[in-house]
Amino acid sequence: MNLFCMKKHAPSEEMKKDLDNLLARINALEVSAPDDYQKGIIKVLRSLVEGQIHSINEFDHLKKAIDLVTLQLFDTLKKINS
């Protein structure tokens, strides 16, 4: 496997779906975890996955905000030039 071969990342909806599936598996693991150590590790995994989902959502919000600012900029430039 070549680690330097960069693939295009998946769309955000697909990434969120994959992370939701991973979160469901993590929740299932917690039910079957026999001791507190494993339950602690599972809580860390859950926190990481939830953080990743939150980051993807925030990135989507930022993209929308940038699009709105860009539209406002073009509208302002159009008004100035006319």
- The sign one gets for the Cα dihedral 14, 15, 19, 22 is positive
Rounded to two decimals, the pTM is 0.76
pLDDT in tens, the chain (82 residues): 454 555 777 889 999 999 999 999 999 999 999 999 999 999 999 999 999 999 999 999 999 999 999 999 999 999 999 8
Q: What is the pLDDT of residue 82?
A: 84
